Structure 1
Amino acid sequence: MQLKRVVVTGIGALTPLGNNLEDYWNGLINGVSGANMITLFDASKFKTKFACELKNFEATDYLDRKESRKIDRFAQIAIIASDQAVLDAKIDKATINPDRVGVIFGSGIGGLITFQNEVIDFAKGDGTPRFNPYFIPKMILDIAAGQISMRHGFRGPNFAVVSACASSTNAIIDAFDYIRIGKADIVVTGGSEAVVSQAGVGGFNAMKALSERNDGFETASRPYDKDRDGFVMGEGAGVLILEDLDHALARGAHIYCEIAGGGATADAHHITAPHPEGLGAKNVMLSALKDAGMKPEDIDYINTHGTSTPLGDGAELKAITHVFGEHAYKLNISSTKSMTGHCLGAAGVIEAIACIQSIVHGIIPPTINHFTDDPELDPQLNFTFNKAQHRPVNAALSNTFGFGGHNAAVIVKKYVA
């Protein structure tokens, strides 16, 4: 079977650096930190009192007030980002076949805020079960995909993907596969996450995953720095419109880039810690390169998982040097989580968007907050520390790894007719 080529024709983004693609990208290339003290709840008694929240965001600026109350925050931002992407792709719903337009969407946790609040309200009562009738439809993880399809009338393949922090990358790969084997013409894909809440922050604090640098929160996310002490929680949503190349050309769509390939593996090692030698990370990058029919030397930039945890950063770099050999020293490497924080299930698509923009603009976003070299990390690697770098980018790879040992990688490349 001849596989179809798949391109990106629309992008939407709500991130801690901005509530649209332009503001997000400007924040990245200017090295802006998205961290601030938590405003979504009273965090005064929590070990970590800061996060990378969305700024100047109010759901009712975009959605009907009555309807927005029936939708959890994670699904609200998914809908808004998808609206941006559909508009950006200039999809004329009167001329496409809605039965061949799918929605494949990822989230690591889904409606945690709704779940938390409903359980707290119940516990405050006398035991009489009084729950919001929208409790379950607001909470379930697949509802973002469902809401997007209903909003736009897209009746093609529709489901959710969950693989912790690799969720949205896996969603992109699934969407890519559905199109290239001919099961859809267009797929709205990506992911969203909104768990800056008592349960989210308290839960990650309990497992000692979060930075507690409350006195220096703007520099707390510091991948590859010797003094990194955990990740900074972020929230956000990213959406890509993936499209069959022939379909895109026939309707005169703008093409950002081409999806070259993707890979998915498991560490099979530990529920939260990466394999110490980066075995799963090594295998997923090799799998993505094989799927794309590319060599390591074809890659110019890697947007790493780079969460700012002591174990994770080192394991991924071991994998990169193993896979890329001498070419590893010619690559640009950066972790944009140093600016956005870790957006969990949405991280993959938000970082894939950074890769796409690096191809479009020829700029590598930096890894900010670097102060002290880690003697255990190879100093000859180009981490793009603290300042964006200009260089032509023909192909970029985005890595995302999740609790449970999930690994996903996607490769995007410059579109050539």
Structure 2
Amino acid sequence: MSPPITITSIASISPLGNNQEDIWAGYQHSGHFFRKASIGNTAAWISCLSEPSKLEINNLRNSNSRYLNLDDSVLFGIFTARRAVKYAGWGENDNFGINIGSSRGATGLFEKYHKDFLQNNSTAVLTSPTTTLGNISSWISNDLQSKGPSISHSITCSTALHAILNGVAWIKSGMAKKFLVGGSEAPLTPFTIAQMRALKIYASEEENDYPCRALDLNKQKNSMILGEGAGVACLEYGIHKNSLAIIEGLGFATESLEHNISLSADARCLQDSMSMALGSVPPKEIDIIVMHAPGTIKGDAAEFAAIKKIFGNFLPALTTNKWKVGHTFGASGILSVEMGILMLKHQRFLGVPFRSPNPPRKINRVLVNAVGFGGNAVSILLKNPESQIG
């Protein structure tokens, strides 16, 4: 039997912070990271980077003249990729692949350049190269001087977990020994928020202790809120002293479209992806599910229905981080993986404040879900590398 593929490091930047200590502390705090802000000509709830994290990104932007014209989504990716590689101990001689995706890509720059075009009937020289989706992985590859494959992709909200699928496939094929995977998103722009409001899934502006009610199955209004951030993980063969989690199972599925954003009432795609990820592992041995749960009425309910179909009477503890940091689109999956890894490491369940907790006594296995527009689902089963189960 070949050795398992493990996650040997993970790094992120989000409203929670940009280092593991601050991120864990942010998860311990009972409050959320939302605030009302003016986005273009409208006010909306958003979840943005902290001032220290913004300073880190600004310092990165000013550290290299070629970085001055890059979108935030690219800079978030470079920042987290540098840290992930450092934490993993990968050196200059390590040959690794890169797959960092994004749902929306360079939204800030795209909107800026398009506005200039409408006003001037012309656009800047760097418009095309700095707004192509592929420039996230390409710039990370350039920054790290990697000689392996560099892949970008967009599969809406399941983007980052698809990156994990790709990384595992490359490693198992023998075409790469190590892979850097993740997602990055900087969607706090007027046009992006207008799109979500047009779908009538965005949170209202009314004051609320918890404006995003992700995983509240009794909510009467949609409450999705956008957040920004990025996360990157290092994958490699074998259990090492710095292995954070074993990737024990992978699942993926799509379902037939009835509408451009449709998801069946019992999320058949998630049923299939979870079942595939579980493989021969009994449902009763899953301790926690980190749900996609975007805070919409139908989305949350459909995922919960899918979980009940697969787990029956062995319902694991359920949680999500979107009530706290919002929906980061293509980066959301990797932030959920990071949340799962933190719970494995600290052996502490991170619940949702407006949902009755049912924490497991011990945390050995965590299942992470993501699903995007069009019913494109991915599930990743993480196992504690120190666990003796199985």
How big is the shift at 1:295?
Answer: 2.0
| Pair 1:121-2:119 in alignment | no
Structure 1: gaps spanning 5 or more residues: 371-382
One-letter code aligned to 2:247: I
How big is the shift at 1:179?
Answer: 1.4
One-letter code aligned to 1:80: F
How far apart in 1 are the matches of 2:362 and 2:345? 9
| Pair 1:339-2:332 in alignment | no
- Greater Cα offset, 15-24 or 304-313: 15-24
Residue aligning to 2:231: 238
Residue aligning to 1:378: none
Residue aligning to 1:321: 308
Residue from 197, 200, 203 that aligns with 1:211: 203
Rate the CA distance shift 1:384–1:143 in 2: closer, same or farther, 3 A.
Answer: farther
Deviations 1:174-205 (A, max 9, x none): 11221123221111101010010011111111
Query: 8 Å contact 2:60–2:75 — kept in the other structure?
Result: no
* RMSD of aligned Cα (Å): 1.9
How far apart in 1 are the matches of 2:150 and 2:249? 21
Residue from 201, 215, 218 that aligns with 1:224: 215
Residue aligning to 1:89: 88
Residue aligning to 1:393: 363
How far apart in 1 are the matches of 2:186 and 2:206? 21
What are the equivalent positions in structure 2 for 1:52-91 lying under 5 Å apart? 52-56=47-51, 57-58=54-55, 59-63=57-61, 64=63, 66-91=65-90
Residue aligning to 2:266: 277
Query: 8 Å contact 1:105–1:191 — kept in the other structure?
Result: yes
Residue from 369, 379, 389 that aligns with 1:409: 379
How big is the shift at 1:299?
Answer: 0.9
Residue aligning to 2:281: 294
Aligned-pair identity (%) = 24
Residue aligning to 1:160: 152
Deviations 1:38-85 (A, max 9, x none): 26x44xx43x51201111113222341533322111011011011111
- Greater Cα offset, 188-197 or 20-29: 20-29
One-letter code aligned to 1:222: R
Query: 8 Å contact 2:290–2:366 — kept in the other structure?
Result: yes
Structure 2: gaps spanning 5 or more residues: none
How big is the shift at 1:324?
Answer: 0.7
> Number of paired residues?
380
| Pair 1:262-2:247 in alignment | no
One-letter code aligned to 1:52: S
Residue aligning to 2:170: 178
How far apart in 1 are the matches of 2:231 and 2:30? 19
How big is the shift at 1:25?
Answer: 2.1
Query: 8 Å contact 1:118–1:135 — kept in the other structure?
Result: yes
Query: 8 Å contact 2:287–2:360 — kept in the other structure?
Result: no
How big is the shift at 1:135?
Answer: 1.4
What secondary structure, in the 3-state scheme, does the structure 1 residue paired with 2:292 have?
coil
Q: Where do 4+ consecutive residues of structure 1 move more than 4 Å?
A: none
How far apart in 1 are the matches of 2:211 and 2:46? 10
How big is the shift at 1:145?
Answer: 0.9
How big is the shift at 1:4?
Answer: 4.2
TM-score by length of 1: 0.86
How far apart in 1 are the matches of 2:356 and 2:23? 18
What secondary structure, in the 3-state scheme, does the structure 1 residue paired with 2:378 have?
strand
